[in-house]
Structure 1
């Protein structure tokens, strides 16, 4: 039986990360009746896409199609898929499958399953390579396709980045108790950090403190809901001045030489720092007495469960929360990557597949 062929922006070697993707056909996973084919209308550009293409986390495998903040229309739905029908607006984030049988999967923690399948750059259960959403179509196991019908107030272009960047911040904030009575710190105010401020405010945190090197983005942070902005480059005594003042910190910084010791010192005793940013290498060393003498905690989280994604989207829908986006036509994906590399995202770049939007006047239905 002949294999299907999809068209998309394919990375052929590590130069792809510099904006050298090539438009050509690629082979999706072999169709199974548990799958959904998505006609992609939007796909966010995530920092993970660049890390993978340049081989920052591991030896890259090519050819590759990246993109795991996918929104579009279900155009083919397997007979064993429930809750989705042809024509539904649907989406998928960084995870596209898991074992579905272990205790983690059965308790809405499938994002920590040992058989976690990435939406791209890994293998499906059947052994086929996973391919992402910088394309006209994506084929995804139906259990991890989110029906977006319940969230009509969230437009697709602002919803797409929530499916990875958004949930990567929402999950730790929710799991570690951001809300009334809590002082929350967000280290780094980029694509992830702006979500952190938005969600922390929406969850009702008493204080939302942004920690950044400079005040360049201070106005934006306050506009999103920050109550305090610490510019470490401008305040040499910041670590001492603000020590023991924050209950929960989400660290989006992925630099291997970040001042992790000082970040931990900002926590109150029994406070928690959640590491989200993943450097190309190890985290900096820190003195264990920073934890031992205060019962502070350092941990990390991986995206979020399907249950958490739906809870996040419901919050965005109910409170009219919007990602701050910089849209690019998907035909200009290489310019989008170059813009990302120049730190011009402010705050999430979204690829808009204009061809698929035009068909059936789909945009007017979102």
Structure 2
């Protein structure tokens, strides 16, 4: 297709007070190239990254911005160089939409760790200085390399939060070699953590839920947790000492991390790893490394998944009929939805539905 009969409208953030105050309007998408596709958006998950970006929590946001990087929709325009997709295909787009595609890490399908850096699906700049805009919108324009076909058996409302939230947990679980015989702790039972429990179970491991209180214990067990650890319980780290093979930590509260990471280290068997996927807005202070040294524990981080892991993840979801715990919200309700997300009301992932584009509530 050489032209379009549609325009790009979305929920625009104009300043750091944008949570609850986005305005619907038209914007200019990235400059079209023949490597791109345009997507008619039916669903977009709400991610904590959206909130950080809306309020400039991770540094100054390049306003105006349209957030949303858990996008699902239908391809409506295809560049001449694109061989992997065609008009009418249902696809998903995650947090990354650009990389050099030429370095060793891109060749390995590890585009999030590209030597040249990554371009985010929103709040990014392309080589020609045009901006990347996200999925709280009617349409999205992205390079086809970062748009992934959704298996027929995976509902769009499930696929959307997988594109960032699910992929962000799937990748570290693969790094921990989660599978039969492995006991994997998931810290923080929220939008990310609930995917950790679901995927650890789907991979054959024994998931252990780790949360501040017992409030989500019943839900966690329904998601597959074989054990629930409440960090508010005195002496929990001694009771469950050296019982875990690995931990994925999703929390991003600086104080909680400073206080809890040394205790989490004691939960691991020697040689175990803690992989952080939550990204605090401020540096950690006063972190004690003695428990890491004395228990031979490793701590590191993991970003989003790349082009090899995302299709693999989607195939697994289709195979086991994995169902994300989602609450559907109308696209028109985006302002209220992000406020509710900020207030911790999501159980466990909000998904915006663009009804005028065919999305179903």
Match in the other structure for 2:240: 242
Where does residue 29 of structure 2 map in the other structure?
Answer: 28
Structure 1 stretches of 4+ with a deviation exceeding 3 A read 2-5
Matches within 5 A, 1:246-285: 246-258=244-256, 259-285=260-286
CA-to-partner distance for each residue in 1:204-247, whole Å, 9 max, x for gaps? 01x211111111111110001000001121x1111221122111
State the alpha-carbon separation in 2 of the partners of residues 348 and 287 from structure 1.
Answer: 33
Which 10-residue stretch deviates more, 277-286 or 178-187? Answer: 277-286
8 A Cα contact 2:265 2:295, kept in partner? no
1:88 deviates by: 0.7
What SS class does the counterpart of residue 344 from structure 1 fall into? coil
Q: Deviations for 1:155-176, whole angstroms, at most 9, x for unmatched residues?
A: 0011100000000000000122
Report the secondary structure of 2:284's partner residue: coil
Q: 2:146 maps to which residue? A: 144
Q: TM-score, normalised by structure 1?
A: 0.94
Task: Name the counterpart of 2:228.
Answer: 229
Q: Partner of 1:212 in structure 2? A: 211
What secondary structure does 2:315 align onto? helix
- The answer to whether the Cα contact below 8 Å between 1:5 and 1:28 also exists between their aligned partners in 2 is no
Deviation at 1:293, TM superposition (A): 2.6
State how far apart, in whole Å, the 1-side matches of 2:289 and 2:338 are.
39
Q: 2:193: which partner in 1?
A: 193
Q: Which residue of 1 aligns with 2:42?
A: 41
SS at match of 1:143: helix
Q: Distance in 1 between matches of 2:338 and 2:108?
A: 37
Q: Residue 121 in 1 paired to residue 144 in 2?
A: no
- What is aligned with 1:335? 336
Please name the residue that 2:89 is paired with. Answer: 88
Q: Distance in 2 between matches of 1:93 and 1:75?
A: 18
Higher mean C-alpha displacement, 43-52 vs 57-66:
57-66
1:284 CA displacement? 4.5
How many angstroms apart in 2 are the aligned matches of 1:126 and 1:323? Answer: 38
Contact 1:96 1:140 survives alignment (8 Å): yes
> How far, CA to CA, are the matches of 2:216 and 2:157 in structure 1?
23
Deviation string 1:2-59 (CA, Å, 9 cap, x unpaired) is: 9995111000111112x11100001101111111000000000000000011011101
The CA distance in 2 between the partners of 1:284 and 1:134, in whole Å, is 35
Aligned-partner SS, 2:308? helix
User: How much has 1:287 moved relative to structure 2?
Assistant: 2.6
Which consecutive residues of structure 2, in runs of 5 or more, have no partner in the other structure? Answer: none
- Do 2:262 and 2:292's aligned partners in 1 also have CA atoms closer than 8 Å? no
Helix, strand or coil for the counterpart of 2:37?
Answer: strand
CA distance, structure 2, for counterparts of residue 5 and residue 352 of structure 1: 18
Q: 3-state SS of the aligned residue for 2:169? A: helix
* Alpha-carbon separation, structure 2, partners of 1:32 and 1:5: 17
Please give the root-mean-square deviation of Cα atoms over the aligned residues, in Å.
1.5
